């Protein structure tokens, strides 16, 4: 089929987008985002194909392919002496019902001898809402294996608050919709302040998504938000350009 052939042909790649410290702009982590390089259309973004791959099950393989790409990159950067950052991989909700999920993760990450704390799992809020007990069980097992877990797209659905009380996330990513209409909506500021302070009070790290302007960055920093991901700091980059950034932030060997 088209997608199997594309995978074998190397047409899927992981782009990487930095997660940065507000104050210094320093990179503290990154998120891997899949891209499909199609001859006719050029680079296609996931919103156009992930829903289809979730229906036909191909997403299970694609997510593992992205995880393996990330593990391979982390290992290669280490060999080059670069200071690496933890990288987050998005996993579809379909993995939650798949007994092979964690064994497969371990196999791929260990194949490249990547320390487990360098891998973060991003699960979207809707995933979790669909099956809370299942999510609880998977998160516990991920933690036991040393992986950290982030809730993605927090605030985009309606389940967020009740989910927070029963699940142990290491970080929560505020959906970019929080920032929509930010400039002229005083309520937006209050909602963000409230969300950040509630999440921080649970001892969970807060990452803001979709930070596009200095005004947004300054405001988020002042609310106590920990990390920023967005065009203001960096777009998602192909691996070679991301590596250039890592080189810039690695101090020269003594």
Q: Site residues (CB under 5 A) for Mn ion? A: 90, 122, 152
State the minimum distance, in angstroms, from the CB of residue 156 to ligand G: 8
47 scored as a contact of ligand G (CB under 6 A) = yes
Looking at residue 253, what DSSP letter applies?
A: P
CA distance 58 to 20: 32
121 versus 196: smaller Cβ distance to ligand G: 121
Q: Which of residues 109-138 bind ligand G (CB under 6 A)?
A: none
Q: Do 88 and 121 meet the contact criterion of CB atoms below 8 Å apart?
A: yes
Paired sense of beta strands 42-44 and 27-38, if any: antiparallel
Is residue 183 part of the contact set for ligand G (CB under 6 A)? no
What is the smallest separation between the CB atom of 228 and ligand G, expressed in angstroms?
9
Of the residues 84, 92, 171, 205, which one makes contact with ligand G according to CB under 6 A: 92
User: Least distance (Å) from ligand G to the CB of residue 235?
Assistant: 7
Nearer to Mn ion, 90 or 104 (CB): 90
Extract the runs of DSSP E, i.e. beta strands, from 49-197: 87-90, 119-124, 148-154, 171-174
Going by C-beta distance under 8 Å and a sequence separation of 6 or more, which residues neighbour residue 210? 175, 176, 179, 229, 230, 231
Of the chain, the end-to-end C-alpha distance in Å amounts to 52
Full 3-state SS string of 197-211: HHHHHCCCEEEEECC
Q: Does 212 bind ligand G (CB under 6 A)?
A: yes
Q: Least distance in Å: CB of 9 to Mn ion?
A: 25
Give the CA count within 13 Å in the CB-facing half-sphere of 221: 12
Shortest spacing between CB 175 and ligand G, in angstroms: 7
Site string for ligand G, 217-246 (x = CB under 6 A): ------------xxx----x----------
Shortest distance (Å) from residue 193 CB to ligand G: 20
* C-beta closer to Mn ion: residue 35 or 78: 35
CB 120 within 8 A of CB 141: no
- 3-class DSSP state for residue 114? coil
Applying CB under 6 A, among 20, 27, 50, 174 the residue interacting with ligand G is 50
35 or 116, CB closer to ligand G? Answer: 35
121 three-state secondary structure: strand
Q: Which residues bind ligand G (CB under 6 A)?
A: 17, 33-34, 45-47, 50, 59, 63, 66, 90-92, 152-153, 173, 176, 209-212, 229-231, 236
């Amino acid at each position: 089929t088209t997608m199997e052939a594309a995978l074998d042909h190397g047409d899927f790649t992981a782009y990487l987008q930095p997660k940065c410290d507000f104050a210094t702009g320093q990179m503290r982590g990154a998120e891997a985002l899949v891209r499909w390089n199609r001859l006719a259309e050029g680079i296609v973004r996931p919103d156009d194909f992930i829903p289809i791959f979730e229906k036909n099950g191909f997403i299970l393989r694609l997510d593992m392919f992205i995880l393996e790409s990330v593990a391979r990159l982390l290992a290669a950067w280490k060999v080059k002496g670069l200071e690496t950052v933890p990288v987050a991989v998005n996993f579809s909700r379909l993995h939650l019902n798949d007994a092979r999920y964690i064994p497969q993760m371990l196999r791929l990450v260990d194949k490249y001898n990547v320390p487990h704390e360098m891998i973060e799992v991003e699960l979207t809020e809707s995933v979790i809402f669909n099956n809370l007990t299942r999510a609880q069980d998977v998160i516990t097992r991920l933690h036991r294996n040393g992986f950290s877990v982030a809730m993605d797209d927090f605030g985009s659905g309606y389940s967020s608050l009740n989910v927070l009380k029963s699940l142990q996330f290491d970080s929560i990513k505020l959906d970019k919709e929080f920032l929509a209409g930010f400039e002229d909506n005083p309520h937006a500021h209050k909602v963000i302040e409230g969300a950040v302070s509630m999440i921080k009070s649970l001892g969970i790290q807060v990452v803001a998504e979709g930070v596009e302007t200095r005004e947004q960055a300054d405001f988020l920093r002042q609310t106590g938000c920990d990390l920023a991901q967005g065009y203001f700091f960096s777009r998602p980059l192909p691996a070679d350009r991301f590596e250039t950034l890592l080189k810039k932030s690695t101090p020269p060997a003594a």
